[in-house]
Structure 1
């Protein structure tokens, strides 16, 4: 399981906002200016995460909203344990409980690094309809697109995932250059993490009670107990 290290909102945006890394390949004067602003004294005028309006962030959900059990997963697209969960236990959870109307599932992103933020921007770029399909592709290919230390190569690999899911290049560019959206998502993540005391991934909040990473059988026992 990956432990979450508290980070400042402005610090994450400065190293991974929705402009700098994508525009390395197609820079514009406006993008260059935004990059400079993000890298210079980011904490001087940073708005505290708790004061940011995050009402524009869409909750990514599956299943019936009035299902008897509600599960919130907190996960990072760069977390190997989260990838393992989604490649294995999540598929069984979806078939056994979500698609049968027993569980309402909510997925909330955690941002360890800029790469996870970029992946989130691309996954959300497809809207509610494509989010979980893109998420599956990101987790399935995680070891490929997270390898190496070249931000441009990683950004390009993430964009390829978006294109594979049917998102057009212009739409992807707009999503990846949306610094305001990136800032809002980071603030949303921090507000959620504070609310549920999330300190590792994956973490689960099942009917209001927090649990750390677990096997599918353990999760099944908890769900069946609540049903």
Structure 2
């Protein structure tokens, strides 16, 4: 049996655990404190854009989401396919995904997703959302093993999954995405959408999403 990966199946505090706790600490601070920008943004290279749709689309929709958020899963599984067909494939919008991990597990799942080539990103996050109950909420599941199995279907070998989790630049970049969302755009929950500059939060129905595109 493969031993649990030390990152996703921690038992004793390690240097990495303590670093992660320090990085995640600002998320637990009161909203007023976060708004003041008291915690510095992690120094990290920018993440490559992950998006769907034409760069010439007249509207850019930005979604802040967490891979352990069940509302995000509902949107991606129930609403997103219709949105893609009606608005992305027809050239009306380009949807840009921004990481807003709500917890440590979401952060590490995002690291794995971001390590994939751009054309594999959307299918992988869809697979994560479709199996979220198993890898995110099953207390008996080996988190690393479940994520590694899903990543294998996207073409990643186990060593590549481990490398993504050990990549501190990637980790800081995902953290920075969340903190920038909080400070620069006032995001406090997932999913949150920006239709150009108009904000909408929650697992939008297709009809509500369409009203923002048309309005």
Q: Please give the TM-score of this superposition, normalised by the length of structure 1.
A: 0.77
Per the TM alignment, residue 178 of structure 1 is displaced from its structure 2 partner at its CA by: 1.1
Q: Is the 8 A contact 1:76 1:116 kept in 2?
A: yes
The partner residue of 1:36 within 11, 15, 34 is: 15
Corresponding residue for 1:21? 7
Return closer, same or farther for 1:113/1:43 CA change in 2, 3 Å cut-off: closer
Aligned residues: 197
Corresponding residue for 2:32? none
Corresponding residue for 2:112? 122
User: For the residues of structure 2 that align with 1:203 and 1:116, how far apart are their CA atoms?
Assistant: 16
The partner residue of 1:189 within 168, 178, 181 is: 178
SS of 1:93's equivalent in the other structure is helix
Q: Does 1:162 align with 2:151?
A: yes
Corresponding residue for 1:224? 214
Q: Please give the TM-score of this superposition, normalised by the length of structure 2.
A: 0.81
Q: How does 1:195-206 map to 2 (within 5 A)?
A: 195-206=184-195
Unaligned runs of 5+ in 2: 27-37
Per the TM alignment, residue 41 of structure 1 is displaced from its structure 2 partner at its CA by: 10
Return closer, same or farther for 1:163/1:43 CA change in 2, 3 Å cut-off: closer
Q: Does 1:85 align with 2:75?
A: yes
Q: Does 1:61 align with 2:13?
A: no
Per the TM alignment, residue 219 of structure 1 is displaced from its structure 2 partner at its CA by: 1.0
Per the TM alignment, residue 210 of structure 1 is displaced from its structure 2 partner at its CA by: 1.1
Q: Is the 8 A contact 1:69 1:103 kept in 2?
A: yes
Q: Does 1:177 align with 2:156?
A: no
Q: Which moved more, 1:172-181 or 1:195-204?
A: 172-181
Q: How does 1:97-176 map to 2 (within 5 A)?
A: 97-149=87-139, 153-176=142-165
Q: Which moved more, 1:75-84 or 1:192-201?
A: 192-201
| CA displacement, residues 136-187 of structure 1 (integer Å, 9 cap, x when unaligned) | 100000011112336x811221111101111122221211111232122112
User: For the residues of structure 1 that align with 2:123 and 2:163, how far apart are their CA atoms?
Assistant: 20
Unaligned runs of 5+ in 1: 1-18, 25-31
Per the TM alignment, residue 40 of structure 1 is displaced from its structure 2 partner at its CA by: 7.4
Corresponding residue for 2:62? 72
Return closer, same or farther for 1:137/1:49 CA change in 2, 3 Å cut-off: farther
